[in-house]
A and B are shown apart, each in its own frame.
Chain A
């Protein structure tokens, strides 16, 4: 019996080391494919948290990483990886953890009791400047991401269902106690607060879970991803109407070309599918400052189509971007763009 047990252990050990090596390799692949664009190739940060930062690694548990991968941060760019298998999540956690030689922190899920009202006052005094008055997080889309940013790290949203599910009270308290070296987050004990004060702040932060969803965690809902208007005019008149409406709504139009432009030789394109491209560079610059990725839906465009004798004007509903980019800071801009698109299309088909 003991020899069988030894054999089994030997077998497991022999098999597990190459298996773990595979997990590492695949963690690297998964990281490169899904995380490196935001968190940097080596976890040095970018739009996302610098995962390799020793003070970050020292303060988070493996479970915090797991939950964060699974749930993301609604409205705060970090997406939820709902399609990832458990094995893939584990491989990623293992890979990210390998940047730090220290043991992973573990935290109890036991709630911390404190004076919530006092915690609220302390939060306003010590936390709100970076994390927002209601804990909605710092403004901006991160550190660099093609454009200069003010802070070395974006202050995370604490009033966010993803954060609240991932971070137990004990982890929040530990972060308050120790701060995060290399970021603007300093130890609250060093700032003169007492342990009881920290309990009060934790208690207040935890109370976000029972409050209405923070504006920074809200994304726009879209019933129809495409805005469509029927035109009472013929195709050629509608195209001219769109161009005129673009100009009268403070945009300038650039190219006016068939959808099939460049896909086939000139002259063979379907001339009943015309795209009017337009732009407002001030608005474009503003949009890219909020989220540099929005370029994929630029320049603005309205399509005029004649299909089965019916002329229609259509465009992507800019509100879809809010959810697609998981960035609530785009909400206002998307709503404004949606209004502009609708105004142009209404004017062209009036």
Chain B
């Protein structure tokens, strides 16, 4: 009885959580951490998956220099050298979409993270050889954002 219950719970759980659930457009999550902490978590989650952070675009500082008000706002660029080298050699038109990036900005005492779905690139570049790369990026970006969201 207990085993059956456990098995059914497992089946229902799998039905509920398996497969991509997201919307077609953007990946967006909210972290209940303050911006600096969420930012640190994001950088750690990116690095722990073997990506190199190549640049932190400081959006709010640039705006404030011209007296435009903005909360803390960064765009974090990241990638893997060999991967970027290979895919852009095969498909140079991918370059405008690279390196991958995640935008993070403060909303009061929380932070919001936004990224496009890397899998959307499949519709722009339907080369079957690139598909596993896009899928890997999708899994990684989802996992990175989940890690920041779930951090306690």
Residues of A within 8 A of B (CB): 14-15, 18-19, 22-23, 26, 29-30, 32-34, 36-38, 40-41, 46, 72, 79-85, 87-88, 91, 144-147, 225-226, 228, 259-264, 270, 273, 275, 279, 281-282, 284-285, 288, 292-293, 295-296, 298-299, 301, 303, 305, 307, 312, 314-316, 323-326
Instruction: Assess whether B84 is in contact with A293, with CB atoms less than 8 Å apart.
Output: no
Instruction: Assess whether A259 is in contact with B26, with CB atoms less than 8 Å apart.
Output: no
Instruction: Assess whether B16 is in contact with A259, with CB atoms less than 8 Å apart.
Output: no
Instruction: Assess whether A79 is in contact with B26, with CB atoms less than 8 Å apart.
Output: yes
Q: Which of B19, B30, B54, B79 contacts A37 (CB 8 A)?
A: B30
Instruction: Assess whether A87 is in contact with B16, with CB atoms less than 8 Å apart.
Output: yes
* A146/B81 contact (C-beta < 8 A), A41-B30, A88-B21, A298-B59 known: no
Return chain A residues, CB-CB under 8 Å to B44.
none
Return chain A residues, CB-CB under 8 Å to B1.
14
The verdict on B140 contacting chain A, using a C-beta distance below 8 Å, is no
Q: How far is the CA of A82 from the CA of B106 in the complex (A)?
A: 29
Instruction: Assess whether A37 is in contact with B124, with CB atoms less than 8 Å apart.
Output: no
Instruction: Assess whether B23 is in contact with A34, with CB atoms less than 8 Å apart.
Output: yes
Return chain B residues, CB-CB under 8 Å to A34.
21-23
Q: Which of B4, B20, B115 contacts A296 (CB 8 A)?
A: B115
In B4-44, the 8 Å CB interface with A consists of 4-5, 8-9, 12-13, 15-17, 19-26, 28-30, 32
- Distance (Å) between the CB of A18 and the closest chain B CB? 6
Instruction: Assess whether A305 is in contact with B95, with CB atoms less than 8 Å apart.
Output: yes
Return chain B residues, CB-CB under 8 Å to A14.
1, 5
Instruction: Assess whether B16 is in contact with A22, with CB atoms less than 8 Å apart.
Output: yes
* A315/B96 contact (C-beta < 8 A), A85-B15, A260-B81, A285-B68 known: yes
Q: Which of A263, A284, A312 contacts B81 (CB 8 A)?
A: A263
Instruction: Assess whether B108 is in contact with A144, with CB atoms less than 8 Å apart.
Output: yes
* A295/B105 contact (C-beta < 8 A), A38-B28, A41-B30, A312-B92 known: yes
Mask, B34-69, CB within 8 Å of A = 1, is 000000000000000000111101010011011010
Instruction: Assess whether A295 is in contact with B85, with CB atoms less than 8 Å apart.
Output: no
Q: How far is the CA of A261 from the CA of B55 in the complex (A)?
A: 9
